[in-house]
């Protein structure tokens, strides 16, 4: 489906990007440029400490997506000041969301969580928090705390799903099921805060068609935003060793870009898109090594939509990946 054979994209979409970008959503909601400031609050995960398993997810090395100024040894307030200064200078941002990113950030007592979240919100230019966690580490106490905070501040709960296939979840050592994710979303819905789902494309044994079915799942749930990225291997992970043994062959750039564009076309326009790619420092990135900077990755997908003349949600509710898609490729 192309722009010349359909009505124009909905007004909710960014007029130049053809997607409902999270940055565009935040600017409309708060009236200024808003940036997320990453912090490390010193958490672990239940699939690392023996509660659910050990070793963590096979692709996870948090160094790959964490700024050097976010370490648990650095006081939380100092991490926030560093992050705010960086985004003010780089992007001219005026307000900020503190993102509790590393590991499982509801995996602690209610008192600990309340103290950490309060300290993040104490900064006068912080308008809210974003909390990354797992669906099997979301206590009722944590949900009630986030519900209370959301009455006066912005809150986004970020839940890692990665794959809708339970066999894949088991192989990557996630330690939870699709059913647990769906139940966590339903428990969190209607509490006054946003819900974001984390998804990965490129797991061994998964076809692109099977991956695209995840868009239908997102449409069926009260999900407000998504983060999507390609599976990539970094040093210090089991996935890197699998790559060296020939057990993990990463997607090529054209296949990933086409799959991401297919996914966006199937994703309802009400869902905001927070990210479309993953990146890692070159000194620890094993594969794929596409040689593109972050903005180049973003626009590789956006330009594919432009080439097609399509936009987010133009095929929402319609099955099949369509002509010219990546659906025929296997991961």
Residue 11 has a pLDDT of: 85
pLDDT higher than threshold 70 for residue 211: yes
Residue 307 has a pLDDT of: 97
pLDDT band at 317 (very low <50, low <70, confident <90, very high): confident
Per residue in 189-202, pLDDT tens? 999 999 999 999 99
> For the residues 102-119, what does the mean pLDDT come to?
96
> For the residues 107-111, what does the mean pLDDT come to?
95
- Count of beta carbons in the 10 Å neighbourhood of residue 54: 11
Residue 68 has a pLDDT of: 53
Per residue in 161-171, pLDDT tens? 999 999 999 99
pLDDT band at 61 (very low <50, low <70, confident <90, very high): confident
- Count of beta carbons in the 10 Å neighbourhood of residue 8: 9
pLDDT band at 319 (very low <50, low <70, confident <90, very high): low
Which carries the bigger pLDDT value, residue 29 or residue 328?
29
Helices (H), the chain: 22-30, 76-91, 110-121, 140-149, 166-171, 178-188, 208-220, 238-244, 253-266, 294-308
Helix (H, G, I), strand (E, B) or coil at 204: coil
**To 5 degrees, how large is the angle CA 304–CA 305–CA 308?**
90
> For the residues 53-72, what does the mean pLDDT come to?
69
Taking the CA atoms of 290, 206, 262 and 279 in sequence, report the sign of the dihedral they define.
negative
pLDDT band at 62 (very low <50, low <70, confident <90, very high): low
pLDDT higher than threshold 60 for residue 323: no
Kindly list the structural domains of the chain, giving each domain's residue range(s) and its CATH number in brackets, ordered by start.
3-308 (3.20.20.70)
Which carries the bigger pLDDT value, residue 62 or residue 282?
282
State the Rg of the chain over Cα. 19
What is the pTM assigned to this prediction? 0.91
Residue 49 has a pLDDT of: 87
Per residue in 122-156, pLDDT tens? 999 999 999 999 999 999 999 999 999 999 999 99
Structure tokens at 55: 């070793």
Mean pLDDT for all residues in the chain: 90
Residue 5 has a pLDDT of: 42
Distance CA 264, CA 268 (A): 8
pLDDT higher than threshold 50 for residue 329: no
Helix (H, G, I), strand (E, B) or coil at 301: helix
Where residue 114 falls (left for φ over 0; alpha for ψ -120 to 50; beta otherwise) is alpha
pLDDT higher than threshold 70 for residue 322: no
């Amino acid at each position: 489906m192309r722009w010349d054979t359909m009505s124009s994209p909905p007004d909710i979409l960014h007029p130049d990007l053809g997607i409902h970008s999270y940055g565009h959503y935040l600017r409309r909601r708060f009236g200024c440029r808003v940036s997320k400031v990453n912090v490390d609050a010193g958490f672990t995960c239940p699939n690392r400490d023996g509660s659910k398993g050990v070793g963590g997810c096979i692709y996870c090395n948090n160094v790959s997506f964490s700024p050097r100024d976010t370490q648990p040894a650095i006081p939380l307030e100092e991490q926030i000041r560093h992050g705010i200064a960086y985004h003010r200078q780089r992007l001219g941002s005026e307000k900020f969301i503190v993102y509790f990113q590393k590991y499982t950030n509801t995996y602690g007592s209610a008192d600990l969580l309340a103290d950490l979240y309060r300290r993040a919100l104490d900064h006068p230019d912080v308008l809210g928090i974003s909390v990354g966690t797992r669906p099997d580490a979301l206590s009722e106490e944590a949900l009630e705390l986030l519900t209370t905070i959301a009455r006066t501040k912005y809150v986004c709960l970020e839940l890692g799903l990665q794959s809708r296939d339970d066999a894949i979840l088991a192989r990557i050592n996630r330690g939870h099921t699709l059913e647990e994710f769906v139940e966590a979303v339903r428990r969190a819905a209607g509490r006054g805060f946003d819900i974001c789902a984390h998804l990965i494309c490129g797991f061994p044994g998964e076809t692109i068609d099977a991956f695209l079915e995840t868009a239908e799942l997102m449409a069926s749930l009260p999900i407000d935003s998504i983060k999507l990225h390609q599976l990539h291997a970094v040093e210090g992970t089991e996935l890197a060793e699998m790559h060296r043994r020939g057990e993990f062959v990463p997607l090529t750039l054209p296949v990933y870009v086409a799959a991401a564009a297919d996914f966006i076309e199937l994703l309802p326009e009400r869902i905001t898109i927070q990210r479309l790619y993953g990146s890692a420092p070159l000194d620890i990135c094993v594969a794929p090594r596409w040689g593109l900077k972050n903005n180049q990755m973003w626009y590789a997908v956006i330009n594919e939509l432009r080439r097609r003349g399509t936009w987010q949600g133009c095929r929402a509710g319609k099955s099949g990946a369509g002509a010219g898609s990546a659906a025929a490729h296997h991961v």
